[in-house]
Chain A
Amino acid sequence: MDRIWVVVDRAGERVAPLSLELLTKSKDLADQVEGVTWGDGAQLAAEAGSYGAALLHTVGDLGGRLPGPAVAAAMAARIEAGDAPDAVLVPHNYDGRDIAGRLSALIDRPVLTNVVGLTDADGLRTQHPVFGGSEILTARFTGDGPGIYVVRTKSFAAEDSGGAAADVDVWAVPQLGAADAVRVVDRHVEEREGPKLDEAAVVVSGGRGLGQADAYRMIEELAKLLGGAAGASRAIVDAGWVPYSHQVGQTGKTVKPTVYIAAGISGATQHMVGMKGANNIIAINKDQEAPIFSIADLGVVGDVNKVLPKLIEALRARS
């Protein structure tokens, strides 16, 4: 395949890890990889280049706008002008999904989301986990025009191939219509101790078995003691105990840590699809029949409210 565009998401002044994964994979798939980003392109050029991008297009300063409308409109304008790539790879995250949705409607092409694998067999084929990851579905686009692929985190390894810095150019943003009026009026960075959920080597997640919202403190404490991140099942996010950003699973984050500890989580397919890629799984649950035990390397049948305090105490004693 000739040419792939990768949406290069930012993490501060660096390229977001998921975009590095997409650049690396694209370098395998296409002759020419081009990043599309916003803000100061020069800041990201060296890093994007060393992971495979020859060019880095930026739509420039957003002036307080969200990236979605501007990035999508700029890409759509190039595509309509006849400058279409074979594929557009988009990170499966908040801004990525905005970009994919807008672009899809603008160029009238559907989107394949929740992609966890990409192979080139007479055109790109995508892999998607279904039914909690027990089955893998392969799909592809038909018809003319570039495919839009929204890819989940940790689907591919990010590898620095030592390429030269990407050449940066600025893409004009056409009229955005009503979407132009949306503004970010304030940004809040939540202080976080320890690693990000989808990058942590240890993830400790809590579920309904905790019994009450307050008990989630034990999950945070255990995660901190293990230098890991705290996650949650959908059930307790839905119940309002913890924010959505902690959710692990199909509608939340995909994690692949060295150790995953599921505390009071029964193991709905919705949850398991997001964590069964962990190297080692420890599950604590009262119900011996809980599906989580079918994938746990170590399963403890017991009350999390009894096991966790002792575990925390034992780990504290060591530190």
Chain B
Amino acid sequence: MNVVVCTKQIPDPANPGQLSPDTHTLVREGKLILDDSDAYGVELGLQLVEAAGGEVMLVSMAPHAEVSGLRTALAMGAAKAILVSDEALVGSDALSTAKVLAAAIRRTDPDLIIAATESTDGYTGTLPVQLAQLLDLPSVTFAKRLSVADGKVRADRQTESGYDEVESPLPAVVTVTAGVVEPRYPSFKGIMSAKNKPIEQLSLADLGIDPSAVGWAGARQEVVSVVSAEARTGGEIVVDDGDAHERIVAFLEQLKVI
């Protein structure tokens, strides 16, 4: 079976984020890394193809042909990648991004498309289901466990009160929560071989997408302003020397929760 994993390359979340003063959007300059949230989907895809045969293909979008995050996923074991890259994509909202990824995925023939529930940087969290609708595919979201057999995917889907066992025919789009599997670390051999794995770069023209329908030109939402939130300040600090719990008990009493 062939698995497409939607992968996002993001600025390292360990560094403080910045908004562009002009556009109020996230500054995405410098080296991009594989979004941690996507490592679970890559791992799951690898486990599925290791059991059933086939390969994992990455599909990603980035405005300036960045590939460093894709190389990480290739080093884990993905076979190849499609990267849609075009200056006109800067400023795209989630729906535009879904349209671009849908066009790229239509060139492949996946049995399963895996995505994270949301990205770590933008965390809009709607793209996978938009993608499913655009491709006229079923979707199973928030899967915390997943298996594939007999042309069907079966998943434990998170609910407010527990989980549902949900079944869908393939092909389908699934989103996976963190912790669904334990992502592997790329081996040295994996890292070396990733350098030679194919990354097909496509432009909007290659996909037949009108540049005015995406990016800033096609955005139908805008940031009006950004202001500092009311700051919350720290209070009392106690260094534990064996009886700090007593201070906590006293505080809870004061708040009348005990």
Report A's interface with B, CB cutoff 8 A.
Answer: 11, 16, 66, 68, 72, 93-94, 97-98, 100-102, 104-106, 108-114, 125, 129-131, 133-143, 150, 177-190, 192, 196, 201-202, 226-227, 234, 237-240, 243-245, 247, 250-251, 258-259, 261, 269-270, 276, 280, 282, 284, 288, 293-303, 306-307, 310-311, 314-315, 318
Contact = CB atoms under 8 A, between A and B. Distances in A.
A188 to B, nearest CB: 5
Contacts of A318: 258
13 contacts: A68-B139, A68-B141, A98-B141, A111-B94, A130-B226, A134-B231, A137-B223, A139-B223, A243-B144, A244-B144, A251-B178, A298-B247, A307-B245
A307 B229 contact: no
B248 A113 contact: no
A190 B162 contact: yes
B164 A97 contact: no
A97 B126 contact: yes
A93 B235 CA distance: 33
A141 B154 CA distance: 37
Give the interface size class of chain B: 35 or more
B252 A226 contact: yes
B171 to A, nearest CB: 8
Given A181-B138, A298-B238, A318-B258, A11 B226 contact: no
Interface of B: 13, 16-17, 19, 24, 36-37, 93-96, 98, 117-118, 120, 123-134, 136-142, 144, 154, 156-169, 172, 177-179, 182, 219-229, 231-240, 242-249, 251-252, 255, 257-258
Contacts of B140: 182
Contacts of A238: 36, 178-179
A307 B251 CA distance: 15
Contacts of A294: 232-234
Given A130-B19, A188-B163, A298 B235 contact: yes
Nearest to B161: A189
Contacts of B248: 261, 282, 284, 298, 300, 307, 311
